[in-house]
Amino acid sequence: MSEKVLRILVAKPGLDGHDRGAKIIARALRDAGFEVIYTGLHQTPEMIAETAVQEDVDCVGLSILSGAHMTLFPRVVDLLAAKGAGDVPVFGGGIVPDEDIGELKTLGVKEIFTPGASTKQIVDWIRQNIQPRA
Amino acid sequence: MSSGNAARKTQSKRIRPEYATISGMEIDECYRAGDGGGVLGEPGRYPFTRGVYPSMYRGKTWTMRQFAGFGSAADTNARFKYLLAQGGNGLSTAFDMPTLMGYDADHARAEGEVGREGVAVSTIDDMSVLFDGIRLDEVTTSMTVNCSASILLAMYLVVGERQGCSWKKLGGTIQNDMFKEFIAQKEWICPPEPSLRIVTDMIEFCTREVPRWHPVSISGYHIREAGSTAVQELAFTLADGIGYAQAAVERGLDADDFGPRLSFFFNVHNDFLEEIAKIRAARRMWARIMRERFGAKTDRACLMRTHAQTSGVSLTAQQPTNNVVRVTVQALAAVLAGVQSLHTNSLDETLALPSQGAVTVALRTQQILAEESGVVNTVDPLGGSYAIEALTDRMEREAQAYIDRIDAMGGIVRAIELGYPQAEIADAAYAFQQATDAGEYVTVGLNGYTMEEDHKLEILEIDRAIEGEQRERVKAFKAARDQQQVARLLEAVRSAAVEDRNLMPAVVEAVRGGVTVGEISEVYRRVFGVYQDPATV
């Protein structure tokens, strides 16, 4: 019996144009056997949530280096819930100070990968924590 | 050559050679006479391999130009004054994402972003506050801004005017390098061709009206930060420069007139030898490009003046004090390579914008190099080193191959449309990540020499209240204007855009009349269209 391949949305919210990390993650996840949809840059939280629903993804990864994560990450979480996709886990990475990680998790972000995290760590975390959407 | 390595290489399935630069360029065990060099020439003489001025730092130390900007204009004005008081002798402005992308602080897309990655500037009042108490004819200022550069430059000129400074006295640089935006930094409004038109308008305008200003800083820094190799950084930067020079020539400008207005900006990354070779090769290659391709007769037009910044991506969040060491090695490479101005990163920059304490250490790093290391006492001290000359020649050869390929595609605009430099960068970035994850490239504290850390750095926090305050300021400013006059000024910008006239006079007039960054950017969006990220992985 074959397992459903996980579909992962990798997204760049806000005006931040630093996409080196997001592209590396997207490629690493593809190499690890996941289906990856990359949104490209300059996505509003609305656009990301809409794409997540349209593409019927199993989780959403957000990358942000511009310091706007406290506004934009929770906004994505809330919009997914509003669209009936509140069961879709959201994780993220970029420049997120340790002090902010606790609050983001309280607001519904499942995990934050900080500078220095390896692609293996992220792939392993997804394999251990993300299931196909029911 | 290095026969000892051959046996080891056949055994392992490495992603990169065992002895390689951070870019993956294999390095010989030992370099000897005849491995490179040839005729080096004199410092200050074409093609400038050994340096752009005869006496280099004996005549004038490089400018210590620390990039700064956060929060409100008042916050950044205070940081500017602090840096000047501590011996920094040039200003460099970091703007926030909304400003950089052409949105005012009261725009929906600015939400959460105001003042967080740089200083918020929407109005001419913000710009005045930013430089309050700083005479613009007594300091040179660099502004890192690209797709909205026309507007920020106009604001700078108007602030200068208000201070009673003639435009002829204003010196500085505006980054305004749109090619590298599409390739690497990814801050854009409109597609490549109209973006190039705006850049060329600014080169033409400054050549005539603001003769001490550098209207473009042709940048490799961001290309490298996005993950390119050193050769790619060199090649794509020069290819971008060729694109701008070509556009200037097609606009009817003379190479000897615009040549001196062009400036460059390179990364100084970890690999000491590679970085010095890269910058020396860059000088020689650019000089030849200006003379042989564009017919510049004067040496002054062929001379590559360059700023450098130590690499941000090379820093670690783990054991951040180590970053001071990294920055010192990188800064020394920049000085030995002969740059004209330098920014040194702060130890806390993987986590936040620089704190005052951290930026002080970064500035002191440059001052110690200048005052205590002795390397400033002689020009191009590494000139003639077998390794440095061999690497300089090799960087030139390999970068030239890329430039030839881009020429064959039809030039840099076409190469960007084809996604060529972007794909090269993404591949190089992925290869480096793989080498790091495999432990083939060791970053101290990250994937080697790791340890539990119990102390926390005090990082700069941007008060969230700043966004609301700036939004209100901008709203109030807009409401207090003569709306009909604003509409007229915007219409003048629009018609200059549509009728293919140089945009700058209308933009300056608009900014004088209180039109904002976002309002002029919106005209660009409507006239030129909005570029969409191709979103390739």
Cβ-Cβ contacts under 8 Å, A42 against chain B: 101, 533
Rounded CA-CA distance B526/B524 in Å is 5
Rounded CA-CA distance A125/B438 in Å is 18
Cβ-Cβ contacts under 8 Å, B186 against chain A: 17-19, 41
Tell whether B226 lies on the interface with A, counting CB pairs under 8 A. yes
Q: Chain A: nearest CA to B505, how far in angstroms?
A: 29
One digit per residue, pLDDT tens: chain B, 537 residues? 444 444 444 445 788 899 999 999 999 999 999 999 888 999 999 999 999 999 999 999 999 999 999 999 999 999 999 999 999 999 999 999 999 999 999 999 999 999 999 999 999 999 999 999 999 999 999 999 999 999 999 999 999 999 999 999 999 999 999 999 999 999 999 999 999 999 999 999 999 999 999 999 999 999 999 999 999 999 999 999 999 999 999 999 999 999 999 999 999 999 999 999 999 999 999 999 999 999 999 999 999 999 999 999 999 999 999 999 999 999 999 999 999 999 999 999 998 999 999 999 999 999 999 999 999 999 999 999 999 999 999 999 999 999 999 999 999 999 999 999 999 999 999 999 999 999 999 999 999 999 999 878 889 999 999 999 999 999 999 999 999 999 999 999 999 999 999 999 999 999 999 999 999 999 999 999 999 999 999
pLDDT of residue B12: 55
pLDDT of residue B1: 41
pLDDT of residue A3: 72
Q: Chain A: nearest CA to B352, how far in angstroms?
A: 8
Q: Chain A: nearest CA to B535, how far in angstroms?
A: 4
Backbone Cα Rg of chain A: 13
Q: Do A15 and B113 touch (CB under 8 A)?
A: yes
The sign of the torsion formed by the CA atoms of B472, B79, B131, A71 equals negative
* Higher per-residue pLDDT: B226 or A1: B226
pLDDT of residue B447: 94
Cβ-Cβ contacts under 8 Å, B117 against chain A: 16, 66-67
Cβ-Cβ contacts under 8 Å, B187 against chain A: 17
Cβ-Cβ contacts under 8 Å, A27 against chain B: 426, 430, 537
Which residues of A sit within 8 Å Cβ distance of B?
14-20, 23-24, 26-28, 30, 36, 38-42, 44, 66-68, 70-72, 75, 95, 97-98, 114-116, 118-120
> Where are chain A's structural domains?
7-129
pLDDT of residue A2: 56
Tell whether B321 lies on the interface with A, counting CB pairs under 8 A. no
> Where are chain B's structural domains?
56-437
pLDDT of residue B2: 43
Alpha-helical runs (H) found in B29-134:
56-59, 73-85, 97-101, 124-130
Q: Do B351 and A95 touch (CB under 8 A)?
A: yes
Q: Do B537 and A36 touch (CB under 8 A)?
A: yes
Query: In sequence order, which residues have a C-beta less than 8 Å from that of residue B41 and are 6 or more positions away?
Result: B47, B48, B49, B50
Considering the four listed CATH numbers 3.30.420.40, 3.30.40.10, 3.40.50.1970, 3.40.50.280, the one that applies to the domain covering A7-129 is 3.40.50.280
Cβ-Cβ contacts under 8 Å, A9 against chain B: none
Q: Do B100 and A15 touch (CB under 8 A)?
A: yes
pLDDT of residue B6: 45
> ∠ at Cα B178 (B107, A51), nearest 5°?
50
Whether the per-residue pLDDT at A34 is higher than 50: the answer is yes
Cβ-Cβ contacts under 8 Å, B457 against chain A: none
Q: Chain B: nearest CA to A66, how far in angstroms?
A: 6
Look at phi and psi of residue B264 and say left if phi exceeds 0, alpha if psi is from -120 to 50, else beta. beta
Rounded CA-CA distance B305/B86 in Å is 25
Q: Do B113 and A44 touch (CB under 8 A)?
A: no
Sequential DSSP letters for B233-245: HHHHHHHHHHHHH
Q: How many CB pairs under 8 A join A and B?
A: 96
Q: Are the C-beta atoms of B491 and B458 separated by less than 8 Å? A: no
The CATH class that applies to domain B56-437 reads alpha beta
Q: Which residues in B290-326 are b (16+ Cβ under 10 Å) and which e?
A: bbeebebeebebbbbbbbbbbbbbbbbbbebebbbeb
Tell whether B232 lies on the interface with A, counting CB pairs under 8 A. no
Cβ-Cβ contacts under 8 Å, B446 against chain A: 116
Nearest Cβ partner of A68 from B101, B113, B351? B113
